[in-house]
Chains A and B, each alone.
Chain A
């Protein structure tokens, strides 16, 4: 009988009248959410999507050398290409020279293989002296690199409109001429080091923050209001100070003639002429990041600890548990949601941290985010920067996924 339709008193099916009654509320809810949704869509989802899109978008060059790449499709890249490829290249370059846009392909080709810059420039200059037919010989005559497999192979490698070469570069891999994935030469393998260092720093900063924040949060949650408010202000004070100011003040403290070094010398841990370097290396990054990210660990822990009734610990003790056992068996398990939230937050924030490592990190303390900034601002290789950004994002999502598997995301509490 469960399939029988229930009617409301005026004969309309109950479901229909319920929907009708709820419609106004639903519309109101949608209208309330809409501005925020559009805001996020326009200023967050769209630009980030656009940025990530760049990391695989390689259409520009294939649009500028269309005939060459079409001709290259039949080429197996085992030996030098035949005449039609060079003929097509001549046509494409002539067109680019007419429109004076060949400069744009130089940059792209030079990323692929250095040496293309002078090669293209020289060729374009001499393009009007080319005669009809036998383009291959004429190209090689202008510059011998046109007759080298490395360059022709590199040229072919730029052909696909979509490429994940930037991602390979992000982990120190690349395509060789045969389009096989190989490691870059040993002296250029810097990104793996950066990734490992970033993860290492994020991991230890998370651990340090946890060790420092747990007792603070516990104090905050258990002290009488009078003192806990004061302590809370101390915890929040850094939030009200500019990040830049805080980092700069660490630079003042940590420099070789700074107060901390003075103290170390005073206490006899180091000789005056052999002061330890506390800044422009990974130590500076650790110290400053731990201090700056500490509130993000304290607050979730505090909000969870605040909900734990003090009578639970008392119950544990009255039942015969030593303070240590009571803490370990009762208090600690109940704070796990806060620990999870705090660690996740601090780890994710520190894995993409930028200003602090940039200012106090120096060369040995700079992280992947600094490399991203470098490619955004200095080398202008936005595609590579966004590839690194996307890798960072995937990394964060992976951590989130692992956390969800281990602890369960429902167990998280941010306050």
Chain B
């Protein structure tokens, strides 16, 4: 059976709450069957609104959403068959774990013995067998969260939506839950649409990530693609750490360009969104792509002054004043090679021009 690559489809969707501001602008997004897609973005970027439109709690102002080829804008939420995990879990506090899980099965009039099997299967999936008779208040945050996940899956929905489900958990629990949810997704192959503002979470869990800003999808691609090859300066700045240089394109030829910085120095960069000489640009460079005193020949090589050294255990973070940017960050892996990293020292920093991406100006 071939998988539908447009299982969930946002077709030119606009959404406005007050008739003045568009929260979502002309959204186009296709999600394949069985895919784990994360909507990532700062708060107010429209990602939760998209999720709510998909769930049916908000109606698009314009455009249409399709689920498995069918337009769903006029279908009420309870008929969409979409499971949902809420930020605060939204477990029914007056029902036991069993009753919480039985709710979606009861409203579908599934016979009791069949329902019991489904509930048992769902609870075993989240390793919570034996907790059937507990009330939600008697469970820890992580357990409540797992019940919420089990409840959203127990009625075999086509799509499961998760709205920052790990937001309320502490760091360690959050990390182990990320893997748990990822494994559940892999084992049952349900389509998951996940919303978060935590980029680590998004990078860890997703097949593809849609980075939202200002009501638009800035980039939709796999985690590595997103990190290695951001298409604009927002994505570059939002995902991971990022060193930037503002300047003007002074020369462009093929896959390299020269960018003249504000202090007059020229650097070589990879032209991504610049086309012609004279354009303003922001050059983005990942900290781990720049090396100190590189042995191999690199086409960018500049001197900088160490401003700050912070020990991080597995790596050392060095802040350098380089080419007029005093926020230039380097990450030096903790290895036996001793570099002379002392506050105030002048050092050589080198990087390849293909790693410094000339993007749209900020």
Q: Is the pair B78, A318 in contact by a Cβ cutoff of 8 Å?
A: yes
Contact of A318 among B83, B87, B93, B108 (CB under 8 A): B83
Bitwise interface map of B from 63 to 98 toward A, beta carbon under 8 Å scored 1, else 0: 000000000000011111111101110111110000
Q: Does B104 contact A (CB under 8 A)?
A: yes
Pick from A309, A311, A312, A325: contact of B107, CB below 8 A: A325
Contact residue among B77, B79, B90, B103 (Cβ-Cβ distance under 8 Å from A329) = B103
B151 contacts A by Cβ under 8 Å: yes
Contact residues on B (Cβ < 8 Å of other chain), bracket = 20 to 34
Chain A residue with the shortest CB-CB distance to B94: A333
B94 touches A334 (CB 8 A): yes
Complex-state Cα separation, A329 to B81, whole angstroms: 19
Name the distance in Å between B138's Cβ and chain A's nearest Cβ. Answer: 17
Judge if B57 is at the interface, Cβ distance under 8 Å.
Answer: yes
A333's nearest neighbour on chain B, judged by CB, is B94
Across the interface, which residues of A come within 8 angstroms of B166, CB to CB? none
Asked if A330 is at the interface of the complex by the 8 Å CB criterion, the answer is: yes
On whether A317 and B78 interact (CB within 8 A), knowing A325-B107, A329-B103, the answer reads: yes
Q: Determine if B245 is an interface residue (Cβ-Cβ < 8 Å).
A: no
Residue on A nearest B84 in the bound complex, by CB: A318
Q: What 1/0 flags go to B320-351 for Cβ under 8 Å of A?
A: 00000000000000000000000000000000
A331 and chain B: residue at smallest CB distance: B92
> A314 contacts B78, CB within 8 Å?
no
Most buried by B among A309, A315, A316: A315
B90 x A311 contact (CB < 8 A): yes
A319 at the interface (CB under 8 A from B): yes
In the complex, chain B residues 289-343 whose Cβ is within 8 Å of any chain A Cβ:
none
Complex CA–CA separation, A325 to B109 (angstroms): 13
User: Do B151 and A319 have beta carbons less than 8 Å apart?
Assistant: yes
Q: Which residues of A contact B161 (CB under 8 A)?
A: 318
Tell whether A314 pairs with B77 under 8 Å between CB atoms, given A330-B92, A333-B94.
yes
> Is there an interface contact between A315 and B77, defined as CB atoms closer than 8 Å?
no
Q: Determine if B88 and A309 form an interchain contact, defined as CB atoms under 8 angstroms apart.
A: yes
Q: Which of A228-274 contact B (CB under 8 A)?
A: none
Interface size class of chain A, counting residues whose CB lies under 8 Å from the partner chain: 10 to 19
Q: Would you call B84 and A322 a contact (CB within 8 A)?
A: no
Interface membership of A320, Cβ < 8 A? yes
A314 to chain B, nearest CB (A): 6
* Chain B CB within 10 Å, residue with most, of A309, A317, A330: A317
Question: Chain A residues near B80 (CB, 8 Å)?
Answer: 318
The answer for the CA separation of A317 and B103 in the assembled complex, in Å, is: 11
**Structural contact, B94 and A311, CB atoms closer than 8 A:** no
- Within A169-183, which residues are at the interface with B (CB < 8 Å)? none
Is the pair A314, B83 in contact by a Cβ cutoff of 8 Å?
no
Instruction: Give the nearest-CB partner of A334 in chain B.
Output: B94
| B87 & A311 in contact (Cβ 8 Å cutoff) | yes
B155 on interface, CB distance cutoff 8 Å: yes
A312-B57 Cα distance, complex, nearest whole Å: 13
**Does any Cβ of A come within 8 Å of B55's Cβ?**
yes
| A323 interface hit (Cβ, 8 Å) | yes
CB of A84 within 8 Å of the partner chain: no
Q: Within the complex, what minimum Cβ distance (angstroms) separates A65 from chain B?
A: 65
A326 to B106, CA, bound (A): 12
**Which residues in window 297-349 of A have CB below 8 A to B?**
309, 311-312, 314-323, 325-326, 329-330, 333-334
B90-A321 in contact (CB<8A): no
**Do the beta carbons of A314 and B94 come within 8 Å of each other?**
no
Contact indicator A317/B88 (Cβ below 8 Å) = no
Establish whether residues B78 and A315, one from each chain, have CB atoms under 8 Å apart when the complex forms.
no
With both chains docked as a complex, state the minimum distance between the C-beta of A352 and any C-beta of chain B, in angstroms: 33
Contact B104–A319 (Cβ < 8 Å):
yes
**Would you call the interface of chain A mostly helix, strand, loop, or mixed?**
helix
Contact flags B141-177 to A (C-beta < 8 A → 1, else 0) = 0000000000110010000010000000000000000
A321 vs B92: C-alpha distance in the bound complex, in angstroms?
13
Cβ–Cβ contact A320 & B81, under 8 A = yes
Known contacts A318-B55, A320-B81, A312 near B155 by CB under 8 Å: no
How far is B82's CA from A315's CA once the two chains are assembled, in angstroms? 11
On whether the beta carbons of A321 and B107 are closer than 8 Å, the reply is yes
For residue B19, give the distance in angstroms from its CB to the closest CB of chain A. Answer: 15
Shortest Cβ distance from residue B305 to the other chain A in the assembled complex, whole angstroms: 52
**Cα of A316 to Cα of B94 in the assembled complex, Å:** 13
Distance A312 CA – B80 CA, assembled complex (angstroms): 17
A319: chain B residues within 8 A (beta carbon): 78, 83-84, 103-104, 107, 151-152, 155
**B319 CB to nearest A CB, Å:** 43
Query: Which residues of A have CB within 8 Å of B91?
Result: 315
Contact residues in B for A325 (Cβ distance below 8 Å): 107
Query: In the complex, A318 Cα to B154 Cα: how many Å?
Result: 12
A309 to B136, CA, bound (A): 15
Give min CB distance, B97 to chain A, whole Å. Answer: 14
How far, in whole Å, are A316 and B55 apart by their CA atoms in the complex? 12
**Which residues on B sit within 8 Å (CB–CB) of A323?**
76, 78
Question: Given contacts A320-B108, A321-B103, are A315 and B86 in contact (CB under 8 A)?
Answer: yes
Known interface pairs A315-B84, A315-B86. Does A320 touch B107 (Cβ–Cβ under 8 Å)? yes
Q: Is the CB of B78 within 8 A of A312?
A: no
Contact A320-B104, Cβ < 8 Å, known A330-B92, A334-B93? yes
CB distance B78 to A320 under 8 Å? yes
> Which residue of A is nearest B79, CB measured?
A320
Complex: how many Å from CA A329 to CA B94? Answer: 10
Q: Mark A197-226, 1 if CB is under 8 A from B, else 0.
A: 000000000000000000000000000000
Do the beta carbons of B77 and A318 come within 8 Å of each other?
yes
Interchain CB contact under 8 A, B82 and A318: yes
A330 to B86, CA, bound (A): 16
In the complex, what residues of A have CB within 8 A of residue B79's CB? 320
Known: A319-B107, A323-B78. 17 other contacts (CB 8 A): A311-B87, A314-B55, A314-B86, A315-B92, A317-B56, A318-B78, A318-B80, A319-B83, A319-B84, A319-B103, A319-B152, A320-B81, A320-B107, A322-B107, A326-B78, A329-B103, A334-B93
Complex A-B, nearest 9 residue pairs according to Cβ-Cβ distance, in ascending order: A319-B104, A315-B90, A318-B84, A311-B90, A317-B77, A311-B86, A317-B78, A320-B107, A321-B107
27 contacts between A and B (CB under 8 A): A309-B90, A311-B90, A312-B90, A312-B92, A314-B84, A315-B84, A315-B91, A318-B55, A318-B80, A318-B82, A318-B161, A319-B152, A319-B155, A320-B79, A320-B107, A321-B78, A321-B104, A321-B107, A322-B78, A322-B107, A325-B107, A326-B78, A329-B103, A330-B92, A333-B94, A334-B93, A334-B94
| Residues of chain A at the chain B interface (Cβ within 8 Å) | 309, 311-312, 314-323, 325-326, 329-330, 333-334
